[in-house]
Amino acid sequence: MDRARLVITGRVQGVFYRYSTVTEAKRIGQLTGWVRNLPNGDVEALIEGKKDKINELIQWCQKGPPGSNVLGVTTDWEKYVGEFPEFSIEY
């Protein structure tokens, strides 16, 4: 099991990016963690699960939902903790 922290830059707030990320994580399955808006306009996500499934969500995050304009996704791999029961929006 792995864990990745993403910071997504571009036009990613006000375009249902967080909601769409949760929907996509649930479609992929077996992923837990959260996604949230950052004060500077970026979006941050913390994802836990199997590396191939995390990479699938990262690939989706590079495109995002319709209406978004993703300029970049920074990925930092961290030690797996297993602290989340599901994937959700964090406020």
**Residue 31: predicted pLDDT:** 98
Which H or E run includes 56?
helix 51-61
pLDDT digits (tens, 9 = 90+) for 58-75: 999 999 999 999 999 999
Contacts of 57 (CB under 8 A, 6+ apart): 21, 24, 25, 28, 31, 45, 47
pTM above 0.95, yes or no: yes
Assigned token pair, 36? 């949230």
**Using CA atoms, how far apart are residues 62 and 69, in angstroms rounded to an integer?**
9
Positions annotated as catalytic residues are 18, 37
What fold characterizes domain 2-89?
Answer: Alpha-Beta Plaits (3.30.70)
Q: Where are the domains of the chain?
A: 2-89
pLDDT digits (tens, 9 = 90+) for 11-54: 999 999 999 999 999 999 999 999 999 999 999 999 999 999 99
